[in-house]
Amino acid sequence: MKPEYLQLLCCPDCQGNLNLSGECNADGKLESGLLTCRSCERCFPIRGFIPRFFESSFYADSFGPQWKTFAKTQLDSRQTRESEIRFESEIDWRESELSGKTIIELGSGAGRFVDVVSRLKPKLAIGLDASDAVDAAQANLGDRDNVFIVQADIFKPPFRSGSFDFAYSIGVMHHTPDPPGAFRKMVELTKLNGRVGVSLYEISLYERPNLNSLKVSTVELLWAVNMWRCEFFRAITTRIPESWFLAYCKYFVPVLHWVNKIPVLGNVRYLFPATCYKHLPVGWSMVDTHDTYATKIVHQYRHKDVFQWFLRNGLHSIVVNNGRAGWVSLTGTKSPAALVEEMQRAIKEQPLGPGQVGSFTPSATTI
């Protein structure tokens, strides 16, 4: 951590100013030290260059071992540019927009998207994560002058409202207990006329053609069965010791990864908890199996649900991005108060079925 970052931080509990104690190294960074709130006197340690405002949560704990084990797997390399492709298709902010700006990612994991963003010349790219995946992110990106890694709860971020030009979250909020609440926090962190982006699991992974047919309906049924299969296995894998399932991902999933490349025989992978790829390195199958089956919470959404989140939080210029099947990805701009009032007319509750009176508001879309 650089001492100059103190001006960005505040106490996550009372939003009070912080005092900093510790010695900088030759690069002008603090490897260890202490942050103390001037108002409530709470103390927060700095370890390994990272300020630690939060160190455990039931919904995020599985991601720490995951990203510390597979720290570099999803960083772009000569083999793949998957992270760049996902950022472009799901958020699509360009260097001309991000250059010289301050950006935060909520749920940064090992830093795969902070890596992409930091190369687009922002003034500062902040990666916030609740788990000790921050240690992997710091090891990957800590040598970059425009990267700052923070360990904190997404629901109690140690930053004041309106601090950032851009804020985004990719593939994370659906693993929290309250995704709409996490989204609201992200909007609060953004400046007026700042930009917000989010990418979440879609209700169906099936890239469904528009023309209905018996074949299409059959494939859709098989996708539904596959989702049932995933939840069946998750009822087991989320309860076994973390070290056991991590070993399963490291030593058995690679076997399924290679079997999956064999026609017909590859279907055997469906008998096991596994996410296997034919066109990506084996490490991706290992890490995504862990990501799918070890996480405690999974929410899924439709684009129209998340569109209502944007409206309810006063965002305009909302864009539904054309990402891959399986992802709901939108961006928008934080509106001035006058425009927010005008947009209230567009907020609608979903009506009930034919012949029923009233409206249906799923808890997942209530803000």
Contacts made by residues 140-143, CB under 8 angstroms, sequence distance 24+: 140/71, 140/72, 140/75, 140/110, 140/111, 140/115, 141/111, 141/114, 141/115, 142/49
DSSP 291-307: HHHH-S----B-HHHHH
Strands 32-37 and 18-21, how do they pair? antiparallel
pLDDT tens digits along 157-214: 999 999 999 999 999 999 999 999 999 999 999 999 999 999 999 988 778 888 899 9
The strand pairing partners of 326, in sequence order, are none
Measure the CA–CA gap between 199 and 212, rounded to whole angstroms. 28
pLDDT tens digits along 196-211: 999 999 988 778 888 8
Contact indicator for 21, 44 with CB cutoff of 8 Å: no
Region of residue 233 (left: phi > 0; alpha: psi -120 to 50; beta: else): alpha
Tokens (6 digits) for 208: 């469904």
pLDDT: which is higher, 354 or 329: 329
Please tell me the predicted confidence (pLDDT) of residue 340. Answer: 65
Cα within 13 Å of Cα(273), Cβ side: 23
